[in-house]
């Protein structure tokens, strides 16, 4: 018997993806550099379906039906190149290599192009949902050729999460499109998490609530428009008590958040594309600030308010509104980045379809994404989600509360970079005039960078060092 698909790299993600395939009745070849992982998978879960274990790459490749479908689930970066280098020479034209790791989309573009020369389809695929998702149904974002999707799509859609019967998997677009979208997904995830963290901080210090009480607030929010996996787990984490000290778990965890790189890539890429993603950037920077222990120690005694108290009874509702409005901004920025990447690389990404496949399986899964799907359905070419009826109305309705929360944070000395930047972005977009006019004037003064006028076509320069008359540039 031959395997329909094979997975090499059997750490948490690969092992669970292979089990998911087997559980759906697809015979799956399994291989890992260190064979003990393969052995333990078969020993522990061999009865869940048909596994074809292989000790060597040659054995692995020989056990696959043609055209071969080979999934790589190893550490992103050099290990992925090493594994491709090992397997590509054993493959034939028409075969498919799926990279399910968190690769940088630029690496995926490079690999796709090199393997295309050999006639091999390289399918950079974003997979979200962590190890549980991999086992029970992740959100899957495959890039690569349309031809490869015809052969792989049905298998991937079969093991993906389903929402209302629709699989959380679709062909994103050519070459690096899948990994690009996964990258932005993770960037949005950073922003979502940061906004939740700021909400917690405000409720804790401004409103003086205890973690268990805040858990209840999040539970309530999870029954409304904020319903999402991240809000749900926030309540769980906040309600948890540390067994060894009896203190709230959140109080015994060192307050330094780590990161693996996809959030940073989202921001770096946005800078390259010229897309303002302040919400995502502030989330990345907030983790960065938290990790600078020496800097924080040195600055701990700087003067400022004590963070405590002085808010009214409706404060939790105000924070809910600020959170929802700021979340809209973060998603609008992330989708803007996908739109810009799609245009830059000619991917023709269907933005509504991305919202659709993020509704289930992935970390940012939420009721909210149905709204985004609907917004793009109503107007696929919209320059921003913010002008969609629902989102514009929600932002409008949140106004007073949103501003009150940002002002309260500033007044009490509680850092709220996510809320603040979201509001600043909102106000920047709606401003009839921006002070960018002054910036451009300064640029013309010191560097003769020229400016355009509101009342005439063309580029102009003022002779600042001379008689200050205006010349056409
Ligand atoms: P890891 O990222 O921890 O990678 C471990 C795997 O890579 C092992 O199978 C290891 O083989 C293999 N490997 C390495 Br390291 N170097 C290799 C090399 N030179 N040649 C062959 N194999 C090599 O595993 P993971 O946490 O399961 O994640 C897999 C991928 O999925 C990553 O790209 C990750 O970013 C992505 N991802 C992870 C999650 C998550 O929640 N963990 C979610 C979404 C995506 P060995 O056993 O022989 O050492």
pLDDT digits (tens, 9 = 90+) for 206-232: 999 999 999 999 999 999 999 999 999
Q: Is 185 annotated as a binding residue?
A: yes
CA 313 – ligand 1 centroid, Å: 48
Q: Which value, in Å, is the radius of gyration of the alpha carbons in the chain?
A: 25
Ligand 1 touching residue 130 (CB < 6 A): yes
> Is the CB of 81 within 6 Å of ligand 1?
no
Check the annotation: does 330 bind a ligand. Answer: no
pLDDT band, very low/low/confident/very high, at 367 (cuts 50, 70, 90): confident
73 CB less than 6 Å from ligand 1? yes
Please provide residue 210's backbone torsions phi and psi, each rounded to the nearest 5 degrees. -85, 160
Q: Is the CB of 10 under 6 A from ligand 1?
A: yes
Strand 470-472, strand 96-99: pairing: unpaired
Active site residues: 182, 189
Residue 312 has pLDDT above 90, yes or no: no
Which 8-state DSSP code applies to residue 386? G
DSSP state of 292: -
Q: Please indicate whether residue 33, judged by its CB atom, sits closer than 6 Å to ligand 1.
A: yes
Q: Kindly report the protein residue whose alpha carbon is nearest to atom 18 of ligand 1.
A: 79
Residue 129 assigned ligand-binding role: yes
What is d(CA 473, CA 462) in angstroms, rounded to the nearest whole number? 9
39 is in an annotated binding site: no
pLDDT at 171 over 90: yes
Instruction: Return d(Cα 222, Cα 227) in angstroms, integer.
Output: 4
Computed over every residue of the chain, the mean pLDDT equals: 97
- Between the alpha carbon of residue 31 and those of residues 12, 73, 279, the distances in Å are 13, 10, 40
Q: Which of 6, 13, 135 to mutate to test the pocket of ligand 1 (most atoms within 8 A of CB)?
A: 13
Q: Which ligand 1 atom lies nearest to the CA of residue 13?
A: 27
How many angstroms is it from 423 CA to the middle of ligand 1?
39
pLDDT digits (tens, 9 = 90+) for 380-437: 999 999 999 999 999 999 999 999 999 999 999 999 999 999 999 999 999 999 999 9
pLDDT of residue 309: 81
Instruction: Please indicate if the annotation marks 190 as binding a ligand.
Output: yes
* CA of residue 248 to ligand 1 center, whole Å: 33
Tell me which residue has its CA closest to atom 36 in ligand 1. Answer: 101
Rounded to the nearest angstrom, the distance between the alpha carbon of 191 and the centre of ligand 1 is: 25
- Was 9 annotated as part of a binding site? yes
Enumerate the H helices of 160-261 as residue ranges: 177-205, 211-221, 229-239, 249-252
Structure tokens that stand for 140 in this block: 């899957």
ipTM of predicted assembly, 2 dp:
0.98
Answer yes or no: is the C-beta of 134 below 6 A from any ligand 1 atom: no
- With a 6 A CB cut-off, is 41 part of the ligand 1 pocket? no
What's the rounded Cα separation, in Å, for the pair 325 and 29? 47
pLDDT digit string (tens) for 430-464?
999 999 999 999 999 999 999 999 999 999 999 99
- β-bridge mates for residue 64, sequence order: 3
- Residue 33 marked as a ligand binder: yes
Q: How far, in Å, is the centroid of ligand 1 from the Cα of 122?
A: 18
pLDDT above 70 coverage of the chain, percent: 100
Cis omega (within 30 of 0) on the bond before 274?
no
Give percent of the chain above pLDDT 90. 98
| Best residue for ligand 1 mutational test, from 7, 10, 11 (most atoms within 8 Å of Cβ) | 11
In this prediction, residue 257 carries a pLDDT of 97
Tokens for 154? 């049905």
Q: End-to-end alpha-carbon separation of the chain, Å?
A: 74
Instruction: Dig out the tokens for 108 from the structure.
Output: 């995926």
In 3D space, the residue among 171, 181, 12 whose CA is nearest the CA of residue 104 turns out to be: 181
What's the gap in Å between 73 CA and the centre of ligand 1? 6
Nearest CA to ligand 1 atom 3: 75
Residue 61 has pLDDT above 90, yes or no: yes
Show the tokens assigned to 400.
Answer: 């007073």
Tell me: the pLDDT tens digits for 261-300? 999 999 999 999 999 999 999 999 999 999 999 999 999 9
Ligand 1 centroid vs 301 CA: distance in angstroms? 43
pLDDT at 331: 98
For residue 162, how many other CB atoms are within 10 A of its CB? 15
The answer to whether the CB of 160 is under 6 A from ligand 1 is: no
**Taking a C-beta distance cutoff of 8 angstroms, is the pair 262, 126 a contact?**
no
Judged by DSSP in three states, 123 sits in: strand
d(CA 6, CA 368): 35
Q: Which two tokens stand for residue 361?
A: 């399986």
Quick one: tokens of 380?
């696929």
Q: Band the pLDDT of 363: cuts 50, 70, 90.
A: very high
């Amino acid at each position: 018997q031959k395997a329909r698909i094979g997975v090499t790299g059997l750490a948490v993600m690969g092992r669970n993806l292979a089990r998911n395939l087997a559980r759906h009745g697809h015979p799956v070849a399994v291989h890992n550099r260190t064979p003990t992982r393969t052995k333990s998978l078969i020993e522990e879960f061999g009865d869940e379906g048909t596994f074809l274990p292989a000790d060597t790459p040659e054995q692995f490749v020989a056990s696959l039906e043609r055209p071969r479908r080979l999934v790589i689930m190893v550490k992103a970066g050099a290990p992925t190149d090493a594994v491709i280098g090992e397997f590509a020479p054993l493959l034939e034209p028409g075969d498919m290599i799926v990279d399910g790791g968190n690769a940088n989309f630029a690496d995926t573009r490079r690999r796709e192009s090199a393997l295309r020369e050999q006639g091999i389809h390289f399918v950079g695929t974003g997979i979200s949902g962590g190890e549980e998702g991999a086992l029970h149904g992740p959100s899957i974002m495959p890039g690569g050729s349309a031809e490869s999707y015809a052969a792989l799509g049905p298998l991937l859609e079969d093991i993906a999460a389903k929402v209302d019967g629709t699989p959380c998997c679709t062909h994103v677009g050519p070459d690096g499109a899948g990994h690009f979208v996964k990258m932005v997904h993770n960037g949005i995830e950073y922003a979502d998490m940061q906004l939740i963290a700021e909400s917690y901080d405000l409720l804790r210090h401004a409103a003086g609530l205890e973690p268990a009480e805040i858990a209840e607030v999040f539970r309530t929010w999870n029954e409304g428009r904020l319903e999402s996996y991240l809000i749900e787990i926030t309540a769980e984490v906040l309600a948890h008590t540390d067994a060894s000290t009896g203190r709230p778990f959140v109080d015994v965890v060192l307050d330094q958040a780590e990161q693996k790189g996809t959030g940073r890539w989202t921001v770096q890429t946005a800078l390259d594309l010229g897309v303002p993603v302040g919400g995502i950037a502030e989330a990345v920077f907030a983790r960065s600030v938290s990790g600078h222990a020496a800097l924080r120690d040195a600055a701990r005694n700087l003067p400022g308010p004590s963070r405590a108290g002085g808010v009214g009874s409706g404060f939790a509702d105000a924070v809910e509104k600020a959170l929802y409005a700021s979340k809209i901004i973060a998603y609008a920025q992330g989708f803007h980045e996908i739109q810009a990447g799609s245009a830059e690389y000619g991917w023709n990404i269907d933005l509504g379809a991305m919202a659709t496949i993020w509704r289930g399986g992935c970390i940012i899964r939420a009721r909210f994404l149905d709204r985004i799907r609907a917004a793009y359905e109503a107007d696929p070419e919209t320059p921003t989600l913010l002008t969609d009826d629902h989102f514009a109305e929600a932002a409008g309705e949140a106004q007073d509360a949103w501003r009150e929360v940002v002002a309260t944070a500033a007044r009490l000395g509680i850092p709220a970079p996510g809320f603040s930047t979201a509001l600043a972005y909102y106000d920047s977009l709606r401003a009839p005039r921006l002070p960018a006019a002054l910036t451009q004037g300064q640029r013309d003064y010191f560097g003769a960078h020229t400016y355009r006028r509101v009342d005439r076509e063309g580029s102009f320069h003022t002779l600042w060092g001379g008689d200050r008359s205006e010349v056409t540039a």
